[in-house]
Structure 1
Amino acid sequence: MANSGKLTDLKGVGPKLAEQLGKLNIHSLTDLAFHLPFRYEDRSKITPIAGLMPMRPAVIQGEVKGSSVVFGKRRSLLVKLQDQSGLINLRFFHFNAAQKNQMSKGTLLRCYGEPRRGASGLELYHPEYQRIEDGLDTPLEASLTPIYPATDGITQQRLRLLHEQMIELLKQDEVALPDLLPEQWCAQWRLPGLREALLFLHNPPANTDLLQLEAGSHPAHKRLILEELLAHQLSLFKLRAQVQADKAPAILSDHTLRSALLEKLPFTPTGAQQRVTDEITEDLKQPYPMLRLVQGDVGSGKTLVAALAACDLLQQGYQVALMAPTEILAEQHLRNLAGWFEPLGIRMGWLAGKVKGKAREKSLYEIASGEAQLVVGTHALFQEDVHFSKLGLVIIDEQHRFGVHQRLSLKEKGERAGLAPHQLIMTATPIPRTLAMSAYADLDTSVIDELPPGRSPITTVAISDQRRPEIIQRVQEACSQGAQAYWVCTLIEESEALQCQAAENTFEELQKALPGLRVGLVHGRMKAAEKADIMAAFKDHQLDLLVATTVIEVGVDVPNSSLMIIENPERLGLAQLHQLRGRVGRGSAKSHCVLLYKSPLSLTSKQRLQVMRDSQDGFYIAEQDLEIRGPGELLGTRQTGLQMLRIADLQRDADLLPQVQEMANDLWYQHPATVEPLIKRWLGDAERFANV
């Protein structure tokens, strides 16, 4: 954000207070101007005591009829206040002798507080108060009282005093805040100017509709919301323009390798897979980098689409890198792709964090020399000592697990030949339209909206863990009839060690309870080879039941598995539950998912589990997840930018996004001089692509 004035220019702001304000992301007068109230209090009128409503804050004024210190569970000062309409108790748990003396009989008090039900009817607990001197005019507030986001050591009173100084400077034009939106837009949409909107929101008149203000639907809010969303949209346009300014290999191919791969497959791609492959083929013909996001629900066949995209580049002598967020998913990709490509003479490469010593040196040499044509790996592919000979395409699975910077750092790996690689991003986490429009505006989007034939629907039920013995019996019956099952353990703690411990305990419990079944265990702390062996044994039906942590969330494909038990599903988001459930239903057998929850459930948890029972549509589930959890959690903390929205809210303001996209296009092409100042104003140093 542009520094248009130092905070230390304000009266009362020294280095210590400036440092505390920094915790609120207030580093300049401009920051202070955009530090808006999150709610308001109406102290502009006196409410008769008889007219007070529970939990609705109000100003009252009356005469003290008596005060006393009472002893109950806690000592408190009880003051009886009366006006012409009635009487109410004021209760103070923290008080001193001076306060007690101020509350003498006959004193006139004006109080502000939130009435709550107490032992004697409505009471005000710790109200703000002032003594009213007889014969002196004590005016009420002329405007609504703003309540600002605060931090330790900074009171509301201090924040209000700072904002009052800033408002005076704003009125005098001493804070540099030029209007960056074209005048005709504001006239067309009846929006106030920037300065006018800020002055209003910091100091709204007493008659302003409080509900409209707190809902963020006032025209002054809309003015700022549009500008903030516009800045984020433009930041992504800029990112896209920077990437597409690079040269990339234009791939024109006769698709020989692709045809050879398709001939060896025991199935035919779906219409959706074919359509998305065609879109990618068109992108690859361009002499600038492809930036395409492929969304597809669990089991829709994204890996095949990625493989078909890789074919044409491999045929032209370029290397392809596929990166996955976890070793277990990367290993699954390696197995699938090796099975398809090695018979066609393509050499595979492999690099993960656990590849050490001579094996790592060998991998690095094969990648750098070009011997490894199709390289699969994890975050290890980002490391500085990884060099490609001729990288033409980067495929990234589960993009939301990686930061934008990480994705773009792979671009540099292909610049040895003066060309940037094409980028194909895949996700099995369907992204709600509103998020896709705002978080991924730098990418073209394709959707694989068709599942391969032969998939069976999954019946989902939610059952209390008090019925655990019944579920164990159900596993026994299903596996005895030839089916396979997953039992997934989740823990609220982030500690991987604790999650693994829970899985080990459950594994031992189920081994004892199901002596006739072959039970396996897989979790994140096992060695890669050990995990791979267990997964292979499960896939080959050498195991009946697999106990696992959420490491099996993505990538594991066992068509014979038709029963999934998820413990403590209330601790997971909908997207993750949907991913886990997608591990079953991959064959023709009728499949079931049991959500084994702990009672009692919160309202949010009940909502989540109901959505899972009602639908198997990943996009519907993602929309519901967005409503329940909000965009920050859904995108993951690595997807920077959207968590930093100061005023806009992606759920509340979703209806503005199409308009914002049009405005961004218009500004980008018709008013290019305003693009950079807008981005700087709202994103400042946090501009997510600053070092691209």
Structure 2
Amino acid sequence: MQPVVSLPGCGARTAEKLAARGIVSVQDLWLHLPLRYEDRTRVVPIRSLVPGEPAQFEGRVEAVESGFRFRPQLKVAVSDESGATVLLRFFHFHRAQVAAFAVGRRIRCYGEVRPGAHGLECVHPSYRLLGDDRNEPLPDGLDPVYPAVEGVGAPTLARLIGAAIARLPDDAAPELLPPELRARLGLPGLREALAVAHRPPPETDLAALAEGRHPALRRLILEELLAHHISLRRQRIALKAEGAQPLRTHGRLAERLLATLPFSLTAAQRRVFAECRADLAEPSPMLRLVQGDVGSGKTVVAALAALLAVEAGRQVALMAPTELLAEQHLANFRTWLEPLGVRVQWLAGKLAGRARTAALEAIADGSAQVVVGTHALMQAGVVFHDLALAIVDEQHRFGVHQRLALRDKGASGSQVPHQLVMTATPIPRTLAMTAYADLDVSVLDELPPGRTPVQTVAVSAERRAEVVARIRAACAEGRQAYWVCTLIEDSDEVEAQAAQTTYERLAAQLPELRVGLVHGRLKAAAKQEVMRAFKARELDVLVATTVIEVGVDVPNASLMLIENAERLGLAQLHQLRGRVGRGAAASSCVLLYQPPLSAMARERIEAMRASSDGFFIAEKDLELRGPGELLGTRQTGLAAFRVADLARDAALLPAVRECADLLLAEAPERADRLVARWVGGAARYAGA
């Protein structure tokens, strides 16, 4: 494997910056694939520019104006032989730049134009000043735009990747896929696929490349999915080989808990608990995912599994991604387990001083039998006496390193703790078989009796006043309501401002009601206090951002309003809807949308109105390929994908499993090379 420093123009400092991004070899540069492409192979007359579409155009500078009155701004008018003019607008510039834009100078620009106050304008285009030669050459291929590498300029990165591509060996040398599979799927060889991905010819279908439909991209997607799938399966084999202490008990504590619960388990809960119990009795570690819709009763199953470990004289850790969710688990576990004589210990970042010292001592000496907490469970100072079962809730919100760190707390010799992970995000079977190839999957596909279905309606934002009146009526009957603000901007600050505005407006419109506000910019303590007040019925309406998506349990809340619902994916809409309908009262979810709806948004909203089944919703989300990511912000147990997208590329998953079976059985050394190529050092973490 050739190091990147072997490429001309790649010095030690550049190599260091690349290594920080995980790029250490020439092969790694082959797989640093473009985010998108720019077509600079032709020049479009200014008159033919289409707003919203990126294009390359050129002309002469007609006028230049720079000013600093409100904010620095440079405006350059450019026109061409078609007689049309476009205004270039720069907000970040220097004096030398202003001087270079001499009137009459020819310029070639690339960017996206939009309608302005006086015609078309282009903000911060990339540009090149030209000489008077009319025959300035144009590139003969599309220009790739690569994911940025900190400290390495885009031109340097593109040059190094070009040099790496020039070193691609003959097709036979790097080829690892079985030829019969390639032929059946109509996929090119690796050399051809990489050449097209990095340097697509001008006639290439850019939409097919962007959407992963082009044969060259499908070839790379299949190989990447295959590498991750094999990595997970290998990790599972390695974990199972490590061994675990079998937890064989009479289950008396679990029976006592079942006798005290004010409800009976569903058939699905009994089945999943039986699966967990059988796993825990084995001398190899349980690696089980319990996935179930919102409110399907995963926490009770986790508590029953925890009691099997406690009865065997061992410790249990339950980790949740937020203090809000962890505190909810703590309340449930204390209510259920402490009357049975089981000590439940709390550990979170805000625990300090003597309380923290006492908690760490109880965990270390084993007197804390069940420990509930957040990321704090994984900190260096936390030492368990005898950890036998690690339970992770909403596991897709944790990085793989974090889950590995929790598991390592109980590693002893050749033995590791059993692992139970839970998610309320229903995942289609096709995805689960690949994304969770290292886990046995149990499904809670039945809701507890007494849970009322949530009625879902879609209402145009123009009828906002009617919605406010509906909230007033619900609260007058003693119910509570959520008003969720959603924004497209990936910014806590902008979301917080929108929520603040909504909060002030609702407080003014509903002066007789107690309105609260919670968002991502609030400090943890303030957030907890607002949620506590809402749960204690000290607030009637809670205005929130999507921070309340997971884990909030307020049975008295019967109305959920989601503003700008058209901007969310189905999975997230379903999670938010799951915050109501948790009590016996009839509940409603109002999807407030901004007309006109796109075809995709209309389909999503129709799916929400048609069904409250999380698995139907997940399948529909997969079909629509909406922005709601089924597996959360971090791919479950997988390193970040370079080119594959599990939701988009689900149709390739049967071929991935078939190919994995073939390679592992007949060519394990090829499987090794494939994992090394795509996963590399991340392989250890793939099964965490």
TM-score, normalized by the shorter chain, greater than 0.5: yes
Whole-Å separation in 1 of the counterparts to 2:340 and 2:270: 21
1:552-588 CA-to-partner distances (Å, cap 9, x unmatched) read: 5444434343223445656765444433322321233
* 1:545 is the counterpart of 2:540: yes
State TM-score, norm by structure 2: 0.78
**Closer, same or farther in 2 for the Cα pair 1:253/1:183, shift >3 Å?**
same
* 1:348 is the counterpart of 2:347: no
Specify the alignment match of 1:259 in structure 2.
Answer: 255
Contact 1:314/1:373 (<8 A) preserved? yes
Choose the corresponding residue for 1:436, options 421, 432, 442: 432
**Closer, same or farther in 2 for the Cα pair 1:479/1:385, shift >3 Å?**
same
Shift of 1:324: 1.8
Aligned partner of 1:318: which letter?
Answer: R
Aligned partner of 1:474: which letter?
Answer: R
Aligned partner of 1:436: which letter?
Answer: A
1:605-645 CA-to-partner distances (Å, cap 9, x unmatched) read: 77765554444222344455565555769521485745x32
Larger CA deviation: 225-234 vs 453-462: 453-462
Contact 2:389/2:417 (<8 A) preserved? yes
**Closer, same or farther in 2 for the Cα pair 1:140/1:582, shift >3 Å?**
closer
Determine helix, strand or coil for the equivalent of 2:656.
helix
Specify the alignment match of 1:107 in structure 2.
Answer: none
Specify the alignment match of 1:197 in structure 2.
Answer: 193
Contact 2:396/2:632 (<8 A) preserved? yes
Determine helix, strand or coil for the equivalent of 1:350.
strand
Contact 2:86/2:120 (<8 A) preserved? no
* Structure 2 counterparts to residues 219-298 of structure 1, below 5 A: 219-298=215-294
Aligned partner of 1:513: which letter?
Answer: L
Whole-Å separation in 1 of the counterparts to 2:634 and 2:256: 41
Contact 1:390/1:417 (<8 A) preserved? no
State TM-score, norm by structure 1: 0.78
1:92-112 CA-to-partner distances (Å, cap 9, x unmatched) read: 969969994889xxxxxxx99
**Closer, same or farther in 2 for the Cα pair 1:38/1:88, shift >3 Å?**
farther
* Structure 2 counterparts to residues 501-512 of structure 1, below 5 A: 506=503, 510=507
Whole-Å separation in 2 of the counterparts to 1:123 and 1:553: 40
**Closer, same or farther in 2 for the Cα pair 1:512/1:418, shift >3 Å?**
same
Larger CA deviation: 249-258 vs 145-154: 145-154
1:30-76 CA-to-partner distances (Å, cap 9, x unmatched) read: 233334456667888999x9x98968999999xx9xx8947999654
Specify the alignment match of 2:666 in structure 1.
Answer: 670
**Closer, same or farther in 2 for the Cα pair 1:168/1:99, shift >3 Å?**
farther
Choose the corresponding residue for 1:337, options 326, 333, 336: 333
Choose the corresponding residue for 1:513, options 510, 513, 529: 510
Aligned partner of 1:239: which letter?
Answer: Q
Aligned partner of 2:26: which letter?
Answer: L
Specify the alignment match of 2:525 in structure 1.
Answer: 526
Specify the alignment match of 1:366 in structure 2.
Answer: 362
Whole-Å separation in 2 of the counterparts to 1:171 and 1:616: 53
Rg: which structure is higher? 1
Runs of at least 5 residues in structure 1 that lack an aligned partner in the other structure: 81-86, 104-110
Determine helix, strand or coil for the equivalent of 1:635.
coil
Contact 2:38/2:142 (<8 A) preserved? yes
Aligned partner of 1:169: which letter?
Answer: R
Determine helix, strand or coil for the equivalent of 2:221.
helix
Contact 2:483/2:563 (<8 A) preserved? yes
Contact 2:317/2:372 (<8 A) preserved? yes
Shift of 1:272: 1.4
Contact 1:290/1:423 (<8 A) preserved? yes
Specify the alignment match of 2:91 in structure 1.
Answer: none
Whole-Å separation in 1 of the counterparts to 2:490 and 2:86: 40
* 1:31 is the counterpart of 2:38: no
Aligned partner of 2:235: which letter?
Answer: L
Specify the alignment match of 2:295 in structure 1.
Answer: 299
Aligned partner of 1:371: which letter?
Answer: S
Percent identity of equivalent pairs: 48
Contact 2:428/2:618 (<8 A) preserved? yes
Choose the corresponding residue for 2:311, options 304, 309, 315: 315
Larger CA deviation: 357-366 vs 451-460: 357-366
Specify the alignment match of 2:146 in structure 1.
Answer: 149
**Closer, same or farther in 2 for the Cα pair 1:397/1:131, shift >3 Å?**
same
Shift of 1:602: 8.4
Size of the alignment, in residue pairs?
659
* 1:406 is the counterpart of 2:402: yes
Whole-Å separation in 2 of the counterparts to 1:586 and 1:691: 34
Contact 2:410/2:416 (<8 A) preserved? yes
Specify the alignment match of 2:94 in structure 1.
Answer: none
Contact 1:299/1:451 (<8 A) preserved? yes
Whole-Å separation in 1 of the counterparts to 2:103 and 2:161: 30
Shift of 1:653: 2.0
Specify the alignment match of 2:71 in structure 1.
Answer: none
Whole-Å separation in 2 of the counterparts to 1:70 and 1:521: 50
Choose the corresponding residue for 1:380, options 373, 376, 381: 376
Whole-Å separation in 1 of the counterparts to 2:526 and 2:161: 57
Whole-Å separation in 2 of the counterparts to 1:98 and 1:561: 65
Specify the alignment match of 2:167 in structure 1.
Answer: 169
Aligned partner of 1:264: which letter?
Answer: T
**Closer, same or farther in 2 for the Cα pair 1:70/1:292, shift >3 Å?**
same
Determine helix, strand or coil for the equivalent of 1:415.
coil
Determine helix, strand or coil for the equivalent of 1:245.
helix
* 1:179 is the counterpart of 2:168: no
